[in-house]
Amino acid sequence: MTQIILDASMSSKLHGFTGPVELCDPSGQVLGRFVPRIEMSEWEPVSPDISEEELDRREQSTDWYSTEEVLAHLKSLESK
């Protein structure tokens, strides 16, 4: 990948952003997009709002539905 070394002024401007930024030339023509690097150590892993016991219960359940049964049920909800 090609690298472009930014001057200190532009570098400090880009450090202030947390989301994507469009980079434009003086006429307003979009040249590209800058997406800041995310520091993963600042994020906490997301875990599902469901207990291990509930997951085990669902895995052991004998109540299973075919794709056709699910689609038929969803179709019946549309007409209500």
Q: Is the pLDDT of residue 78 over 80?
A: yes
pLDDT tens-digit readout, 15-66: 989 899 999 999 999 999 999 988 888 788 888 889 999 999 989 988 889 9
Residues whose CB is less than 8 angstroms from the CB of residue 31 and which lie 6 or more positions away in sequence, other chains included: 23, 24, 25
* pTM reported for the whole predicted model: 0.46
Q: How far apart are CA 49 and CA 77, in angstroms?
A: 27
Q: What is the pLDDT of residue 30?
A: 96
Q: Is the pLDDT of residue 77 over 80?
A: yes
